[in-house]
């Protein structure tokens, strides 16, 4: 197989003018330079013209793109006299993380695989564990089950050899997530309950947070929405990772929606909008807030979010959801023709980009099923007091986030009163 085949696949399917083109091309150029330098370090000095072209490709990426900084760091470390492969590899790992966060999972898996190879060559066991664990997750999200299983198995073997309990338990959370993706919820639940207990006994809050978050996903998929809220809130109280906090808040919001607690869901999404460091995550929250505005019949808010999102540089998955939710919302406000046109666009766009869930939902909506309309989706039900307590905490945090995002982030950080 051609090295970095996934990058060539993306480029072959994208037009040069699309937002994905330039960062993918720059990433491929960097990876090819890394490969060449691993074979012969002198290539960095000998092929100065090629290095300049690569540098120009990175420099031309728009300010604010999550890929520009890690790619520039890789290049800078390669050009240093007597470069540290550890520094190069850490920057490469950061690039893989950025790809993973943006939903470019096949590209992320490619990068994590390269990081793991370099880490093994450099005898950097801990980075090798991190990279193979991340590879397992990215491959799982892209649907490559075999590669995912190999990544997790390698990470588990390395963690066991080093006696690294935290990494070993983290790998087990990844394995549980694979069970979730494949629909084996009882197996996932059993693994996660064990990890939660073991991590708690060992005082590994970060690992326990991962397990609680995944366990909340199991509860949500089993229709136990109140449990999903309370378990996810436990995860929120254990994590120090701002990216994980965004994902946990989003999952809490989704469970609130299923419980018919729309105000609480809106609070959680507004927290993300105010505090997340990542533009993509804020856009995702805005898409969900637009949907909630349609559910609650607030047309002005719906149109405000739509205007913000319409020309944003959304990735294909987020763009497809935007088109679908906009279409449903427009129909709910009596704008039938406009709404059906947007749903048709969502179906075509999602099918073209192989986003099958959205394509299916759009097809059902076009057929005139109940999915075609917005409006109240859930009947409010009686919920336990601990869930009401979480909703009240979200209201407090939303007020804090809108007045001072930094204070809200402090409030979210475990150990900060």
Span 320-337, pLDDT tens digits: 999 999 999 999 999 999
Quick check: is 59 in a domain? yes
Q: Where a domain ends, among 141, 169, 200?
A: 141
Q: Where a domain ends, among 141, 174, 190?
A: 141
CA distance 297 to 334: 11
Neighbours of 205 (CB within 10 A): 16
Quick check: is 102 in a domain? yes
Question: Tens digit of pLDDT for each residue in 248-304?
Answer: 999 999 999 999 999 999 999 999 998 888 777 889 899 999 999 999 999 999 999
CA distances from 202 to 164, 166, 283, 413 (A): 12, 9, 37, 20
For residue 370, what pLDDT band results from cuts at 50, 70 and 90? very low
For residue 417, what pLDDT band results from cuts at 50, 70 and 90? very low
Quick check: is 263 in a domain? no
DSSP 62: P
Residue with tokens 């946990």: 248
Would the pLDDT of 367 be above 80?
A: yes
With CA atoms as reference, report the closest residue to 27 among 89, 91, 71. 71
Quick check: is 53 in a domain? yes
CA distance 119 to 133: 13
Least confident of 115-124, 140-149, 338-347: 140-149
CA distance 265 to 287: 13
Q: Where a domain ends, among 354, 374, 394?
A: 374
Angle, alpha carbons 306-308-312 (nearest 5°): 105
CA distance 414 to 396: 16
pLDDT of amino acid 17: 76
CB 58 within 8 A of CB 30: yes
CA distance 305 to 287: 7
Q: How many domains does the chain have?
A: 2
pLDDT of amino acid 371: 47
CB 155 within 8 A of CB 175: no
Would the pLDDT of 372 be above 90?
A: no
Neighbours of 371 (CB within 10 A): 18
Quick check: is 237 in a domain? no
CA distance 265 to 394: 9
Stretch 370-381: mean pLDDT:
53
pLDDT > 70 in the chain, percent: 93
State the chain's mean pLDDT as an integer.
88
Residue with tokens 């505005």: 293
- Helix axis angle for 385-403 and 262-275, nearest 10°, is 40
CA distance 78 to 92: 11
User: CA quadruple 373, 281, 149, 216: dihedral positive or negative?
Assistant: negative
CA distance 169 to 163: 11
Question: Tens digit of pLDDT for each residue in 122-174?
Answer: 999 999 999 999 999 999 888 888 899 899 999 999 999 999 999 999 999 99
Quick check: is 192 in a domain? no
With CA atoms as reference, report the closest residue to 61 among 313, 293, 281, 309. 313
Quick check: is 338 in a domain? yes
Quick check: is 175 in a domain? no
Angle, alpha carbons 343-344-348 (nearest 5°): 115
pLDDT of amino acid 256: 95
Question: Tens digit of pLDDT for each residue in 14-51?
Answer: 778 777 889 999 999 999 999 999 988 888 878 777 78
pTM for the model stands at 0.77
CA distance 21 to 402: 35
Please classify residue 273 by burial: count the beta carbons closer than 10 Å to its beta carbon, then call 0-12 exposed, 13-18 middle and 19+ buried: buried
Query: Containing domain of residue 315, as a range?
Result: 297-374
User: CA quadruple 251, 253, 257, 260: dihedral positive or negative?
Assistant: positive
Stretch 230-238: mean pLDDT:
95
């Amino acid at each position: 197989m051609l090295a970095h085949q996934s990058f060539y696949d993306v480029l072959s399917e994208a037009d040069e003018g699309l937002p994905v083109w330039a960062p993918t091309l720059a990433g491929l150029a960097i990876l090819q330079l890394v490969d060449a330098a691993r074979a012969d370090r002198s290539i960095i000095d000998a092929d100065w013209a090629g290095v300049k072209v690569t540098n120009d490709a990175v420099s031309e990426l728009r300010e604010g793109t999550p890929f520009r900084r890690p790619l520039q760091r890789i290049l800078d470390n390669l050009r240093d006299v007597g470069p540290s492969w550890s520094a190069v590899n850490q920057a490469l790992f950061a690039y893989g993380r950025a790809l993973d966060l943006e939903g470019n999972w096949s590209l992320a898996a490619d990068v994590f695989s390269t990081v793991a190879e370099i880490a093994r060559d450099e005898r950097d066991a801990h980075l090798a564990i991190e990279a193979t664990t991340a590879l397992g997750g990215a491959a799982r999200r892209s649907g490559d089950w075999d590669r995912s299983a190999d990544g997790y198995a390698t990470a588990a073997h390395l963690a066991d050899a080093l006696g690294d309990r935290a990494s070993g338990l983290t790998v087990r959370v990844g394995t549980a997530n694979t069970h979730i993706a494949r629909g084996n919820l009882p197996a996932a639940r059993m693994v996660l309950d064990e990890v939660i207990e073991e991590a708690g006994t060992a005082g590994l809050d970060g690992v326990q947070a991962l397990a609680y978050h995944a366990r909340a996903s199991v509860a949500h998929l089993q229709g136990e929405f109140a449990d999903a809220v309370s378990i996810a809130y436990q995860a929120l109280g254990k994590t120090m990772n701002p990216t994980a906090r965004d994902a946990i808040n989003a999952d809490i919001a989704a469970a609130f929606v299923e419980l018919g607690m729309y105000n609480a869901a809106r609070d959680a999404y507004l927290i993300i909008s105010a505090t997340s460091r990542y533009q993509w995550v804020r856009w995702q929250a805005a898409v969900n807030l637009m949907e909630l505005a349609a559910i609650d019949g607030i047309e002005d808010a719906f149109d405000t979010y739509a205007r913000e999102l319409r020309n944003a540089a959304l990735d294909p998955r987020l763009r497809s959801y935007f088109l679908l939710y906009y279409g449903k919302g427009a129909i709910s406000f009596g704008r039938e023709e406009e709404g059906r046109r947007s749903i048709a666009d969502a179906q075509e766009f999602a099918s073209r980009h192989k986003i099958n869930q959205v394509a299916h939902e759009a097809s059902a909506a076009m057929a005139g099923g109940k999915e075609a309309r917005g409006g109240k989706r859930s009947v409010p039900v009686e919920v336990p007091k601990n869930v009401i307590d979480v909703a009240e905490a979200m209201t407090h945090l939303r007020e804090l986030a809108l007045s001072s995002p930094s204070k809200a982030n402090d409030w979210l950080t475990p150990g900060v009163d």
